[in-house]
Structure 1
Amino acid sequence: MDKVMKTIKQFFVFLLVTGIAVGALAQRPTIRYGSNAGAGNFVSIRGFRMYYEVYGSGKPLLLIHGNGGSIKDFQHQISYFARNYKVIVADSRAQGKSVDTSDTLTYEMMADDLNALLTTLRVDSCYVIGWSDGGINGLLLAMRHPEKVKKLAITGTNTSPDTTALDPVFFRWMINANDSLAKLPQTRTVKDQQKLLTLMMNNPHISSADLKQVNCPTLVIGGDHDVIPVSHTMAIAQAIPQAYLWILPNSGHSTLITYKAMFNQVVSDFFNRSYRSIKGMARLD
């Protein structure tokens, strides 16, 4: 049992280190993002109660957190973008305050949840930032509900559940952590962690042909030492018809924390400027 508990502790340490659940990594914000009664609300959609918060005014911007994360993961982005955007940020099902008692979890379910949230809030289209699994949800939202996404920025995103898309050490670690969870008393917390790990181990399955369906301008971002190999991040950008690629040096999975000021500025510029296709001799510019 001690060995099992050690593995579980390592799982939560990993979430913190990679930025999938980053609340303890950064300075405590003045506003308690993720627990702000003044900005938060629940909405009943698609069989569960989704918790969300809204900040600022202007053009809608949806922020999507990663596996095991929550609203507070965007504490460095919310205040920045709320100056010029209506920032909508939610806890995905089975994460944060969004309790989900179902036995299964898929990225497609979460993408459709976000679509339903936007519809409920009467948002016909928006800008989107997705981190890690949030990037997967962002891609699927753009593919399944293309009218909802004006522009998309994703960081630390994979499109397949194998060692071509995930660091082999991390991939093996997920399998071991899931095996250890199975030995624990099956509380709601343990079941949710199993759902989240199982999701990452077996999904997503987004092909290059699928990515061609992403018809909105997309900024594909990764760290040069991310758990997502640079080659995989490049392949995603190359498959999307209107995509830019941005690889950040000396960065792992947490690009939007490690380079928070630069990340916010570059993504903001991407949202504000028209996408341009650079071909032929224009590549010398």
Structure 2
Amino acid sequence: MKKNLILLHGALGSSKSFDALIPYLSKDFNLIVPDFRWHGNRSEADSSFTMNDLVEDLEAVFQKHEIQSAYVFGFSMGGYAALALALRKPEYFDGIMTLGSKLDWNPKQAEQESKMLNPDKIQEKVPLFAQHLKTLHGENWVSLCNQTADMMLELGRNPILNTNNISTIDLPVRLGLGDKDNMVSLDETVAFHKALSNGQLQVFPNCQHPIEKVDSDFLTRSIIEFCN
């Protein structure tokens, strides 16, 4: 019987972020690849969200698919949501693997990150990325940028995870980080890794933050190895 594996996309991403992985992982796992609410084919123009809303949305995935337990791979925001749910409902998880998940949030960092999500600046300076977001989320991509910025600011004011409470997660947890990630620092990832009671740390060589720039073969092998 195949193990359950849930793949969770990052901020401004969608289930399509995993198109390169799905053909390989589906051979070994019962794959569930949802869009978080407000993203992808669930995009909404006129609603805001917090990280707690995303955590509740992830819990709804377990309930919708009647999953008793699953391995979860979460990229960036998706990894944070998975760990936050594990604080409340550890019984849902066989293990959690993250990549590029920023775990240490404070108001100053949130302010810096949120400024990068200004849709006007994205349109002006990186029009190809703006078109990519429009392809993923339709015309609601502008609203999603603003909503995500607000989510980050709220997370900076009221972070869910810290090195104290993450130590209560008694599950296999692997924190992954690209060696060229310019959003998440090695120091913060190591600090949370050391706080985990059953933690692993994996550094991905020659790897930047966007999942589209991650070596798909290497990532696929890493996920399979972790889940086995």
Give your verdict on TM over 0.5.
yes
Q: Residue 166 of structure 2 aligns to which amino acid in structure 1?
A: L
Aligned in 2, Cα 1:244/1:191: closer, same or farther, shift over 3 Å?
same
What is the alpha-carbon distance in structure 2 between the residues aligned to residue 140 and residue 241 of structure 1?
16
The match for 2:172 among 187, 198, 217 is 217
Instruction: Indicate the structure whose relative CO is greater, using CA pairs within 8 Å and at least 6 residues apart.
Output: 2
Aligned in 2, Cα 1:254/1:177: closer, same or farther, shift over 3 Å?
closer
The match for 2:6 among 58, 62, 77 is 62
Structure having the larger proportion of residues in helix = 2
Q: Does 1:202 align with 2:158?
A: no
The match for 1:71 among 15, 20, 39 is 15
Unaligned runs of 5+ in 1: 1-56, 182-186, 273-285
What is the alpha-carbon distance in structure 1 between the residues aligned to residue 144 and residue 212 of structure 2?
26
Q: Deviation at 1:256?
A: 7.4
Aligned in 2, Cα 1:173/1:138: closer, same or farther, shift over 3 Å?
closer
| CA deviation string 1:127-160 (max 9, x = no partner) | 0000010111111121122111111100101123
Q: Is the 8 A contact 2:9 2:15 kept in 1?
A: yes
Q: Residue 81 of structure 1 aligns to which amino acid in structure 2?
A: L
Report the structure number with the largest CA radius of gyration. 1
Q: Residue 66 of structure 2 aligns to which amino acid in structure 1?
A: R
Partner SS for 1:90? coil
What is the alpha-carbon distance in structure 1 between the residues aligned to residue 140 and residue 180 of structure 2?
34
The match for 2:143 among 191, 210, 224 is 191
Residue 202 of structure 2 aligns with which residue?
Answer: 246
Q: Residue 210 of structure 1 aligns to which amino acid in structure 2?
A: N
Q: Is the 8 A contact 2:73 2:96 kept in 1?
A: yes
What is the alpha-carbon distance in structure 1 between the residues aligned to residue 188 and residue 218 of structure 2?
23
The match for 1:228 among 172, 184, 187 is 184
What is the alpha-carbon distance in structure 2 between the residues aligned to residue 64 and residue 173 of structure 1?
20
Q: Residue 125 of structure 1 aligns to which amino acid in structure 2?
A: S
Aligned in 2, Cα 1:256/1:149: closer, same or farther, shift over 3 Å?
farther
Residue 132 of structure 2 aligns with which residue?
Answer: none
When structure 1 is superposed on structure 2, of 201-210 and 126-135 the one drifting more is 201-210
What is the alpha-carbon distance in structure 2 between the residues aligned to residue 210 and residue 173 of structure 1?
24
Q: Is the 8 A contact 1:61 1:127 kept in 2?
A: yes
Q: Residue 219 of structure 1 aligns to which amino acid in structure 2?
A: R
Q: Residue 180 of structure 2 aligns to which amino acid in structure 1?
A: H
Partner SS for 1:139? helix
| CA deviation string 1:239-258 (max 9, x = no partner) | 11101101122221146743
Aligned in 2, Cα 1:262/1:177: closer, same or farther, shift over 3 Å?
closer
Q: Is the 8 A contact 2:17 2:212 kept in 1?
A: no
Q: Is the 8 A contact 1:160 1:203 kept in 2?
A: no
Q: Does 1:263 align with 2:219?
A: yes
What percentage of residue pairs aligned between the two structures are identical?
A: 24
What is the alpha-carbon distance in structure 1 between the residues aligned to residue 101 and residue 30 of structure 2?
24
Q: Is the 8 A contact 1:60 1:85 kept in 2?
A: yes
The match for 1:174 among 87, 98, 114 is 114
What is the alpha-carbon distance in structure 2 between the residues aligned to residue 156 and residue 66 of structure 1?
9
What is the alpha-carbon distance in structure 2 between the residues aligned to residue 215 and residue 256 of structure 1?
31
What is the alpha-carbon distance in structure 1 between the residues aligned to residue 145 and residue 108 of structure 2?
24
What is the alpha-carbon distance in structure 2 between the residues aligned to residue 69 and residue 89 of structure 1?
12
What is the alpha-carbon distance in structure 1 between the residues aligned to residue 215 and residue 97 of structure 2?
15
What is the alpha-carbon distance in structure 2 between the residues aligned to residue 163 and residue 232 of structure 1?
16
Q: Is the 8 A contact 1:165 1:228 kept in 2?
A: no
Residue 125 of structure 1 aligns with which residue?
Answer: 69
| CA deviation string 1:64-96 (max 9, x = no partner) | 000011111011221111001110011111110
What is the CA RMSD across the aligned residues, in angstroms? 2.5
When structure 1 is superposed on structure 2, of 196-205 and 92-101 the one drifting more is 196-205
Q: Residue 207 of structure 1 aligns to which amino acid in structure 2?
A: N
The match for 1:105 among 38, 49, 72 is 49
Q: Deviation at 1:218?
A: 0.7
Give the count of matched residue pairs: 207
